[in-house]
Amino acid sequence: MQRNHRANQETLIITLYILPTILIFAWMGQVHWGIGFVIGIGGMIGARLATGLTVSRRGERWVKVMMAIIVLVMAAKLWV
């Protein structure tokens, strides 16, 4: 119960500082709604898939392999 309460508090805090920011940028006409929507949907799908994989029996190995791949790709991108 304590963990759930803390998660709710963190969500409230994040919402309190993100909502005014979005409103200000929208008012200034600097929000690309289509791109933001696609990124948001992709983030939700990715979070759902990642949660399912990390909770599985092979989750720790999957996380290590993905981190190694990401580090190698980023290193290669910085090298070029």
C-beta of residue 31 within 8 angstroms of C-beta of residue 25: yes
pLDDT at res. 61: 84
d(C-alpha 43, C-alpha 52), whole Å: 14
- List the one residue out of 31, 12, 36 whose CA is nearest residue 21: 31
Token pair, residue 34, equals 């289509």
pLDDT at res. 5: 66
pLDDT at res. 56: 72
In the three-class reduction of DSSP (H, G, I as helix; E, B as strand; rest coil), residue 18 is classed as helix
C-beta of residue 53 within 8 angstroms of C-beta of residue 59: yes
pLDDT along the chain (80 residues), means of 10: 66 87 93 93 87 75 88 93
pLDDT at res. 6: 67
pLDDT at res. 63: 81
Structural domain spans, the chain: 2-79
